[in-house]
Amino acid sequence: MPSDPNQTAALTLRLATQGSEVPTVTSEAVSQYLATIGRKGGIKGGKARAATLSSERKSEIARMAAQTRWKKV
């Protein structure tokens, strides 16, 4: 079912008047769509986050990353 209320109403009306079946959505189509959406967020996510951080916070994050990377086990 569509998540948009207008599309849901249109589908309901179409089903009521034509008696056709609900269109099936394959899991491949859903996976491809979600991958596209995730990629969009992933591409802009790091840059957007870095733009909002102060230089002190960036240094703190880098310091913690270096300590974790070189920590003796």
**d(Cα 42, Cα 59) in Å, to the nearest integer?**
22
pLDDT digits (tens, 9 = 90+) for 50-72: 889 999 999 999 999 999 999 87
What pTM, to 2 d.p., does this model score? 0.39
pLDDT at 19 (0 to 100): 63
User: 6-10, 25-29, 31-35, 36-40: lowest mean pLDDT where?
Assistant: 36-40
Q: Are 2 and 11 contacting, i.e. CB atoms less than 8 angstroms apart?
A: yes
* Residue boundaries of the structural domains of the chain: 5-70
Running DSSP on this structure, what letter comes out for residue 4?
Answer: S
How sure is the predictor about 15, in pLDDT bands with cuts at 50, 70 and 90? confident
Mean pLDDT of the chain: 85
C-alpha distances out from residue 14 to 11, 17, 31, Å? 5, 5, 27
